Amino acid sequence: MSETAKNKVIWQIESTHPDLVDRLRETLRQVVDPEIGLNIIELGLVRDVVVENNQATVHMILTTPFCPYGPAMLEMTRAKAQEALKIPTIIEMGAEMWDFSYMEEGAGADWGMW
């Protein structure tokens, strides 16, 4: 994973399987954090996606380590990624703490953050 100046995460899949990225992003937008009301792409929770040996690994964080919806969001993310990529998919939880700067540009406008 690498990041641009605006904190936009660049997933490894973007260079290895660019044909899958748009479909994956759009499918993952269906996974919404029910407490915040924004999807995991807007929140910047998906930190990387790697495809190796016909398997995908989604590296993901949560907005808080004690998110009550965390297990459900992780499973929904896994299922949606697998649906989009059409290969077995696992989720790896990252240890980094989520920050508002991870959000897509304009996603926090309703919160008065931009």
Identify the pLDDT of residue 105.
83
Burial environment of residue 68 by CB neighbours within 10 A (0 to 12, 13 to 18, 19 or more): exposed
List own/partner pairs for 64-73 with CB under 8 A and 24 or more apart. 64/98, 67/33, 67/35, 68/35, 69/33, 69/34, 69/35, 73/31, 73/33, 73/40
Matching CATH number, 7-99, of 3.30.300.130, 3.30.9.10, 3.20.10.10, 3.30.450.20: 3.30.300.130
63: its two tokens: 């907005």
Strands of the sheet containing 46-52, edge to edge, are 46-52, 55-60, 89-93
Q: Residue type at 22?
A: D
According to the model, what pLDDT value does residue 4 have? 46
Low-confidence ranges of the chain (pLDDT < 50): 4-5, 114
In the chain, where does DSSP find H-type helix?
Answer: 13-16, 18-28, 40-43, 70-85
**According to the model, what pLDDT value does residue 5 have?**
39
Amino acid 6: pLDDT:
53
